[in-house]
Amino acid sequence: MIFQCTIAKQATLSGIGLHSGRTINLVLRPADAGTGIIFHRSEGERSVSIEAVSANVVDTRLATVIGKSGLSVSTVEHLLAALTALGIDNLHIDIDGPEVPILDGSSAPFIKLLNDTGLKKHNRSRKFLAIRKSLFVIDGEKRVSIIPSRFFRVSFDIAFDHRCIGLQQRSVKVTPNEFNKNIAAARTFGFLHEVEFLRSQGLALGGSLDNAVVIDQDRVMNPEGLRFHDEFVRHKILDAIGDFSLVGYPILGHVKSYKGGHDINHQLVEKILDTPDAWKLVEFTDLDLEQAMRGMPAFAPEPAFSEA
């Protein structure tokens, strides 16, 4: 999609917070071109507007958390992944609690809400962050890199010493159809002993088999089983799509990750932003926009790029 986009009308959603156990309400409102994605977080009489950009990330231990002026919003990645996949650039998100509702642990409910609401195209082109030089971060066994590509692609490898997961690999070109079909429904997951520990620390109070895949010593505990045979790596891709949206622009690049997670994703996003000679912002020309408005094929913003 070469035009900026928002939603066609206001939409609302409520659900339980994974860690707080609170019922949290979201109101999604259309936003003008150039606004970006902004969370408007309220708590009692206090409120603060938090732009969904890397500079506002305050924690990445259990989820991606953005914050400002003492108020924060956790677990933003599932909603941000859905917005990225559908090409939504501008949105106001009113939220009255400390975390985005976990819903079923995936992006599928957000995709359904956004599709039901409909999208509105702005008459302004998008700016893409096109990777021109490879960058990488290594943190122990974890590795994540980004290399030039004409498209946004995420390739992920995970390795767990557990019979239900083991080694899983998947590569996805991020498009609305591919995301909706193969990534959106993949749920967050955790091990039973980790859930028990988190609850002892006053966390995961809203967690259940309704909103996460839980694994004990030798099996998946959810009675319905898995939605995909490799649901675990698909969810890791989902998380990465949400995390990398915090670069602030749609990306033209290929993310490759081995055992990655929120923390190392954030490290690479920060490295991208701190290395301006490794990328450039590209925008479609007036001719491209005119052809697109007439339904004609538009030129690629960087035709010299080859898909990686």
**Confidence at residue 303, expressed as pLDDT on a 0 to 100 scale:** 35
- Is the four-CA dihedral 57, 59, 63, 66 of positive or negative sign? negative
Asked if the model's pLDDT at residue 135 lies above 80, the reply is yes
What is the chain's alpha carbon radius of gyration, rounded to the nearest angstrom?
Answer: 19
pLDDT tens, residue by residue, 149-191: 999 999 999 999 999 999 999 999 999 999 999 999 999 999 9
CA gap 271, 51 in Å, rounded: 19
Catalytic pick among 78, 122, 254, 262: 262
Q: What is the pLDDT of residue 204?
A: 86
> All domains of the chain, ordered by start, with CATH?
3-125 (3.30.230.20), 128-293 (3.30.1700.10)
Q: Distance (Å, rounded) from C-alpha 267 to C-alpha 245? A: 13
Distance between CA atoms of residues 152 and 21, nearest Å: 35
pLDDT at 295 over 90: no
What is the predicted pLDDT for the residue at 189? 96
What pLDDT is recorded for position 300? 43
pLDDT greater at residue 1 or residue 15? 15
Band of the pLDDT at 284, cuts 50, 70, 90?
confident
What are the pLDDT digits (tens) for 215-267?
A: 998 899 999 999 999 999 999 999 999 999 999 999 999 999 999 999 999 99
Q: Are 174 and 255 in contact (CB under 8 A)?
A: no
Q: What residues does 153 pair with on adjacent strands?
A: 173, 254
Q: Flag whether pLDDT at 292 surpasses 60.
A: no
Looking at residue 285, its pLDDT comes to 65
- The share of the chain scoring above pLDDT 90, in percent, equals 86
What is residue 38's DSSP assignment?
Answer: E
Reply yes or no on whether 40 is catalytic: no
Burial zone of 208 (CB within 10 Å; 0-12 exposed, 13-18 middle, 19+ buried): middle
pLDDT, tens digit (0-9, with 9 covering 90-100), for 12-47: 999 999 999 999 999 999 999 999 999 999 999 999
Q: Please indicate, yes or no, whether the overall pTM of this predicted structure exceeds 0.85.
A: yes
Cβ contacts of residue 19 below 8 Å, gap of 6+? 62, 74, 75, 98, 99, 198, 203, 204, 205, 206, 207
Report strand pairing: 23-30 vs 11-16.
antiparallel
Beta-sheet pairing, 213-215 with 37-43: unpaired
